[in-house]
Amino acid sequence: MAAQLEVAVVGAGYWGPNLARNFRASEDWKLAAICDLDLERAQRVADGVGGAPVTRDLGEILDDPAIDAVAIATPARTHHPIVLAALESGKHVIVEKPLADTRARGIEMVDRARRNGLVLMADHTYCYTPAVLKIKELVQEGALGEILFVDSVRINLGLIQPDVDVFWDLAPHDLSIMDFVLPEGLDAASVSAHGSDPLHTGRACIGYLAMPLTGGGIAHVHVNWLSPTKIRQMVIGGTKRTLVWDDLNPQQRLSVYDRGVDLALHSKGTADSHAANVSYRLGDTWAPALPEREALAGVAGEFAAAIRERRSPRTSGESGLRVLAVLEAAQASLRNHGSPQPVESGVVAEAVTA
Amino acid sequence: MAAQLEVAVVGAGYWGPNLARNFRASEDWKLAAICDLDLERAQRVADGVGGAPVTRDLGEILDDPAIDAVAIATPARTHHPIVLAALESGKHVIVEKPLADTRARGIEMVDRARRNGLVLMADHTYCYTPAVLKIKELVQEGALGEILFVDSVRINLGLIQPDVDVFWDLAPHDLSIMDFVLPEGLDAASVSAHGSDPLHTGRACIGYLAMPLTGGGIAHVHVNWLSPTKIRQMVIGGTKRTLVWDDLNPQQRLSVYDRGVDLALHSKGTADSHAANVSYRLGDTWAPALPEREALAGVAGEFAAAIRERRSPRTSGESGLRVLAVLEAAQASLRNHGSPQPVESGVVAEAVTA
Amino acid sequence: MAAQLEVAVVGAGYWGPNLARNFRASEDWKLAAICDLDLERAQRVADGVGGAPVTRDLGEILDDPAIDAVAIATPARTHHPIVLAALESGKHVIVEKPLADTRARGIEMVDRARRNGLVLMADHTYCYTPAVLKIKELVQEGALGEILFVDSVRINLGLIQPDVDVFWDLAPHDLSIMDFVLPEGLDAASVSAHGSDPLHTGRACIGYLAMPLTGGGIAHVHVNWLSPTKIRQMVIGGTKRTLVWDDLNPQQRLSVYDRGVDLALHSKGTADSHAANVSYRLGDTWAPALPEREALAGVAGEFAAAIRERRSPRTSGESGLRVLAVLEAAQASLRNHGSPQPVESGVVAEAVTA
Amino acid sequence: MAAQLEVAVVGAGYWGPNLARNFRASEDWKLAAICDLDLERAQRVADGVGGAPVTRDLGEILDDPAIDAVAIATPARTHHPIVLAALESGKHVIVEKPLADTRARGIEMVDRARRNGLVLMADHTYCYTPAVLKIKELVQEGALGEILFVDSVRINLGLIQPDVDVFWDLAPHDLSIMDFVLPEGLDAASVSAHGSDPLHTGRACIGYLAMPLTGGGIAHVHVNWLSPTKIRQMVIGGTKRTLVWDDLNPQQRLSVYDRGVDLALHSKGTADSHAANVSYRLGDTWAPALPEREALAGVAGEFAAAIRERRSPRTSGESGLRVLAVLEAAQASLRNHGSPQPVESGVVAEAVTA
């Protein structure tokens, strides 16, 4: 086995303990330190994983030549300065979603990592769950055919966040998963966002995103902090089969339906004759077995592999940028009462020339 | 008991037999005739309800002074001429959804009924189900508090219609129910529609409607002909409680959740301090018992009562117009790539002056 | 096509109308008459199927040489005299479950049919549902391997019957299905029955049947009239796969789980070493598509085919006897506080010698 | 706050870590030591809770006067000697289910604790879950009326145990819960057990227990290691309401149905007239909110409180004996092919005179 890489976890709040626990459990990694401005909080996390050095001084970590990488689990608005500092110190970086609080700052981060020859990975944890890995595999091998639509619902009685709306809080999950599993990635030319703040909290608590896909289909996301029931479901409809991922049904998370509409197109087919040639398939349903595996273990492994193989990780900084591009377009759409807004792309070229 | 009213059913296709059966079973009504251009089809419907006169000549029915009312279950594009002819012959009219194929034609129908002093009722059947009647009762008595959002999903592997898209086919259900149960009716100032026709059938097979409510909340509808699973679910979120109607769960169709977010507002509250004062209720869930009752029996009864009491029915022509207003705005939004479009209102005044 | 057979339906209560409707719709059959002591009730059934002759005189039907068969849907205690009379008149007979109210009477019926060369069919309707037909097919082709256990639950808030307990009311469904799908039929050497009548209605309202199968496994039935929730579920566990039939889940009635316990047996294996060699399969789940088809149409077709081909129907009088044998043993077990009681077999030989 | 009590956890296998974690987190307790013959295993558990002394010598713990209590999570066959030694050393004891591997040994333990004035508590963890505590409260306040039946299903693809059958492995959960929530405790005069070992593992893998309750109702338990689906459901039917506990539905674990059968009894009522006077209630369903709380925290608290208040704990050694009495009667029934066997009671008197 290769020598272990050393990693420091920065941020000991909600997500940091999970990162610490998984790096500790990984054969690829040595958990070198936990850093938080609140030293007691850092110590509690360290205790919970059987001990690790703690510090409140980020500089100490960045100056430590033994440390190869940092995992950043601080609030989104702090990602930009911390990530840039880490990259300048020669550390590989993995960073919580969303990558940054603006796309421009995200571009700067991606650009810096590229120029410094370092790995910048987005911690899109869901992409490493057995369910999403299986979805990607099914899409790639063509089991669904061409993708017609993606409909994602992520609703719950959720904590109203002090600094971000429901789009920035929840939709990065849906968007990063779509970016991961779709053959072309998250390939939306424009986005329309409809939000509502009926409790007057100062930010949208209910949100809908509609995104025409360049291939002709549509992607849609429904996020909601005010739902009394919890739903986490994504439907991916294809020309051959349709997949339903019900993340809260441990007994059957994935179902692949061999049901759908078939169109027999004639060469002279007009729109009207199309309708006449519609038929239905009502075939079997199939629920692939999924291993029980913690997604963050896969995240830790992929981060190590990308560093060792000097390659881009499966959920790269660029994928984080594609998510930010949609979120920013959604913000613009919200300001424009739901009018569709273009989603920026061509991300790094811009940055380089900036 | 009052003397029975006489009704003729016009149109013996998909819905006509249900109307015929329910008028036949009703003590309020005598089923006087069944009319269809296809006389054999009319005869089959008549046989199925124990016999009734049949005809292919609408004029015969309209000229029969014994007939008080006609129930029209023909394709939407034929509603306008048939309804106007019936109203001119002094018949009360109940008509399938949608009321008409354009709002202008609907206005003409409503206006004519008003001027002739006749009942024009929209057959919004769902509004007479035990579930929807209970929802209306709960909303009216304030059990939910103020309405914050309505989210409706109606998806299924559905027949692709030769003449209408998924919005016109399915959304009238959701819209008519919202119009029925909301305190202000379907009170959306604008609508954004996002549709997709990924199979190139010539019409949208997947659709989303987003409608900001004038009270500050939002209503949203998701309709889909390409879903392998069948979902018919409406969530109505209120300041006090939230209701979930799952129409495909006969064991618990309605659930009222005493869960939600509470805001303790201070007089000097700013948006930021609001967030600080959020708290959560995680109370009991309650599922009211619902009688088993066929909705169309209630439709037949309400139609008779409105005629006898010379009043507007609970699902009036005007409610049908409010549905048409949203559908037309949605069409305009579709043509404008999802840009929000104003929903027309003030409906009959226009018509009268026209 | 062969000439139509003529059938009379005897009994116009709960089940008779369904029989009448299906014989009427069948190309194999001409519905020749409906017979009930309550002539008005017979007439209502006749009207509901578009007309048929009615009579209150069974003799009229039995004397009519044009009538080939009678379908008997009268109370269980009247089956014996009516069936014998019909068989003596040379009519083929299909009879509601249970075949008779005692096994001895059932034997006499089966014996008479055999001696007269007539078809005696048990109307075990469930056996002709798409789900049960598929289960039988899967069991027969070995998809489940050897059968290890069958567990059936049929509970509901049910009508407390005036004359029979919950075992005689509901368990014939479970038992006839087991008899139909199991490779050896319902092959239980003994039965233990546990019943309870906690409301003091005079008969068991809750019941459990445990039946060791001769192959080494076990079959169990739970029937209950006092359950507020409705469950109709049967699990059939095999050495290769396990099948779950959830009859109230129209979206996934059948699920075949490739999950189970594997035993690697060594030639010197002792009980203890067996346990050491246990391993688990956690494979995919598969839900076969099922056609939508009314079971009674299949019943009518099978009855006609058995008559024409001069063969025993798939749910023969003998299968009805096997159900009665279990029910009688269960009764004896109830009287003996749940002690296991032998299930009689070798049924017709007895009868013949009697 | 009272001074902390000191506890040692004996057994660092499957359950010991959970005990250690909860004692560590409790304000009532100081975790004084972890004892296991496998010292490395003990150390891993100690590390996982932030450190604690470890030993492989039970005597060291029993001789330590600072230690007030021991929590025993070793295999069932070792409970008897360890518990007796601990009680002789003056330690209070909590012990994993089942209390002992025979009822006679359990009686000796209970008797010894009583004579030495020490607390002997059965770790019936389920009884401290929010769901079971709420069930007990509802039964006690009469919300269900008189109990008519209890039906418990606990099935799963389970680990085939090397030393115990499915009854001893799983049924203690169901039995201890029934003992806890029923007004009279687990008050079964006899038990019939039906087991099956279709894979020839040397022990029953499928089991059913039927127990007539002295009040006239029935209790039934279904346990199964071979089920591909996981069900943990208990139904408690009462004269007023019926409760369904679905432990695997976090969104609605408890449902209280105001549905049932009402009997209007006349003074001259015979069995037949009873049936005539049956009517049905189809009332609302109510799902009480339950706090999210770890059951073992409640166990730790109750153990401390019982010691401090010198009282019997809510799940006492005697409750453990009542569970053993049923398990032993079930074993006898299994040996007798399912014949009902008497359940021993009057437990401690026996022991004292022995």
A280's torsion region: left (phi>0), alpha (psi -120 to 50) or beta? Answer: beta
Check D198 against C217: CB less than 8 A apart.
yes
The chains in contact with chain A, meaning 3 or more Cβ pairs closer than 8 Å, are B, C, D
In tens, the pLDDT along D153-195 reads 999 998 777 789 999 999 999 999 999 999 989 889 999 999 9
Check C194 against D218: CB less than 8 A apart.
yes
| Alpha-carbon gap, residue A87 to A95, rounded angstroms | 12
Nearest CA in chain A to B234: A227
Check C288 against A288: CB less than 8 A apart.
no
User: DSSP state, A202?
Assistant: S
pLDDT at B354 over 70: no
Nearest CA in chain D to A21: D48
The chains in contact with chain B, meaning 3 or more Cβ pairs closer than 8 Å, are A, C, D
* pLDDT for the residue D219: 98
pLDDT band (50, 70, 90) for residue B351: very low
* pLDDT for the residue C262: 77
Interface residues of D toward A, Cβ cutoff 8 Å, are 47-48, 50, 229-230, 251
Averaged pLDDT, C141-154 = 97
Instruction: Tell which of D192, D203, D246 to mutate to test the C interface (max C CBs under 10 Å).
Output: D192
pLDDT at C277 over 80: no
Averaged pLDDT, D221-240 = 95
* pLDDT for the residue B41: 96
Could you tell me the fold of the domain covering C5-125+296-315+333-353? Rossmann fold (3.40.50)
Taking contacts as CB-CB distances below 8 angstroms, the residues of chain A near D247 are: none
In tens, the pLDDT along B111-163 reads 999 999 999 999 999 999 999 999 999 999 999 999 999 999 999 998 777 78
Handedness of CA A221, A226, A228, A230 (dihedral sign): positive
In D1-138, where do the E strands start and end?
Answer: 5-10, 29-35, 54-55, 69-72, 92-96, 120-123
- The second-level CATH assignment, the architecture, of D5-126+295-317+329-353 is 3-Layer(aba) Sandwich (3.40)
**Angle of CA points C327, C333, C338, to nearest 5°:** 130
* pLDDT for the residue C351: 40
Taking contacts as CB-CB distances below 8 angstroms, the residues of chain D near B258 are: 289
In tens, the pLDDT along C86-132 reads 999 999 999 999 999 999 999 999 999 999 999 999 999 999 999 99
* pLDDT for the residue C161: 79
Nearest CA in chain D to A251: D229
CA nearest C252: which of C134, C348, C147? C134
Taking contacts as CB-CB distances below 8 angstroms, the residues of chain D near B283 are: 289
Taking contacts as CB-CB distances below 8 angstroms, the residues of chain B near D288 are: 284
Among B153-167, B202-216, C185-199, whose mean pLDDT is lowest?
A: B153-167
Check D48 against A47: CB less than 8 A apart.
no
What is the value of pTM for the model shown?
0.93
* pLDDT for the residue B276: 53
* pLDDT for the residue D107: 97
Nearest CA in chain C to D160: C275
Looking at CA atoms only, how far is residue A286 from chain C in angstroms? 5
CATH homologous superfamily of domain D130-286? Answer: Dihydrodipicolinate Reductase; domain 2 (3.30.360.10)
Of B47, B50, B229, the CB nearest to C251: B229
pLDDT at D273 over 60: no
* pLDDT for the residue B346: 61
Beta bridge partners of C7: C31, C69
* pLDDT for the residue A1: 57
Q: What is the 3-state secondary structure (H, E, C) of B148-186?
A: EEEEEEEEEECCCCCCCCHHHHHHHHHHHHHHHHCCCCC
* pLDDT for the residue C1: 57
Of B197, B218, B340, the CB nearest to A339: B340
Averaged pLDDT, D313-325 = 97
Task: Report the complex ipTM.
Answer: 0.92
Check A48 against D50: CB less than 8 A apart.
yes
Check A287 against C282: CB less than 8 A apart.
no
Q: Say which residues have a Cβ less than 8 Å from residue D137's Cβ, sequence separation at least 6.
A: none
* pLDDT for the residue D24: 94
Check C235 against D218: CB less than 8 A apart.
no
Please tell me whether the peptide bond between B288 and the residue prior to it is cis, using omega within 30 degrees of 0. Answer: no
Q: Point out the residues of chain A with pLDDT beneath 50.
A: 265-275, 348-354
Check D287 against B282: CB less than 8 A apart.
no
| Alpha-carbon gap, residue C216 to C212, rounded angstroms | 7
Averaged pLDDT, C306-333 = 97
The proportion of chain D whose per-residue pLDDT surpasses 90, expressed as a percent, equals: 82
Averaged pLDDT, C142-162 = 92
Where are the alpha helices (H) located in A184-255, listed in sequence order? Answer: none
pLDDT band (50, 70, 90) for residue B277: low
Interface residues of B toward C, Cβ cutoff 8 Å, are 47-48, 50, 229-230, 251
Domain ranges of chain B: 5-126+295-316+336-353, 130-286
> Same topology for domains B5-126+295-316+336-353 and B130-286, yes or no?
no
pLDDT band (50, 70, 90) for residue D37: very high
Of A149, A197, A235, the CB nearest to B198: A149
* pLDDT for the residue C215: 81
| Alpha-carbon gap, residue B254 to B243, rounded angstroms | 7
Handedness of CA A11, A17, A23, A24 (dihedral sign): positive
Count of pairs with CB atoms under 8 A, one residue in C, one in D: 187
| Domain A5-126+295-316+327-353 CATH assignment equals 3.40.50.720 | yes
* pLDDT for the residue B266: 44
Instruction: Tell which of C165, C194, C205, C246 to mutate to test the D interface (max D CBs under 10 Å).
Output: C194
Nearest CA in chain B to D252: B285
Interface residues of A toward D, Cβ cutoff 8 Å, are 47-48, 50, 229-230, 251
Of B284, B288, B289, the CB nearest to D287: B284
Instruction: Tell which of A233, A251, A252, A253 to mutate to test the D interface (max D CBs under 10 Å).
Output: A251
* pLDDT for the residue A349: 44
CATH homologous superfamily of domain B5-126+295-316+336-353? Answer: NAD(P)-binding Rossmann-like Domain (3.40.50.720)
In tens, the pLDDT along B80-99 reads 999 999 999 999 999 999 99
* pLDDT for the residue B194: 98
Of the CA atoms within 13 Å of residue A160, those in its CB half-sphere come to 26
pLDDT at C349 over 80: no
C171's torsion region: left (phi>0), alpha (psi -120 to 50) or beta? Answer: alpha
| Alpha-carbon gap, residue B53 to B141, rounded angstroms | 45
Cβ proximity of C96 and C169 under 8 Å: no
Taking contacts as CB-CB distances below 8 angstroms, the residues of chain D near C145 are: none
Taking contacts as CB-CB distances below 8 angstroms, the residues of chain A near D230 are: 251
State the CB neighbour count (10 A cutoff) for residue A278. Answer: 18
Check B206 against A228: CB less than 8 A apart.
no
Check B48 against C50: CB less than 8 A apart.
yes
pLDDT at D354 over 50: no
Looking at CA atoms only, how far is residue B244 from chain D in angstroms? 13
Looking at CA atoms only, how far is residue D15 from chain A in angstroms? 19
The chains in contact with chain D, meaning 3 or more Cβ pairs closer than 8 Å, are A, B, C
> Which residue carries 């004891």 as its tokens?
D93
- Within chain D, what is the greatest distance between any pair of CA atoms? 73
Residue A177 exposed, middle or buried by CB count within 10 Å (0-12, 13-18, 19+): buried
Averaged pLDDT, D214-220 = 91
Looking at CA atoms only, how far is residue B100 from chain A in angstroms? 22
Pairwise pLDDT comparison (B274 vs B11), residue with the higher score: B11
Averaged pLDDT, D124-142 = 98
User: DSSP state, D344?
Assistant: P
The proportion of chain C whose per-residue pLDDT surpasses 90, expressed as a percent, equals: 82
Both tokens of residue D94? 């909590």
Pairing of strands C254-263, C242-246: antiparallel
Please tell me whether the peptide bond between B98 and the residue prior to it is cis, using omega within 30 degrees of 0. Answer: yes
Nearest CA in chain B to D258: B289
Check B287 against D282: CB less than 8 A apart.
no
Pairing of strands A29-35, A54-55: parallel
The proportion of chain B whose per-residue pLDDT surpasses 90, expressed as a percent, equals: 82
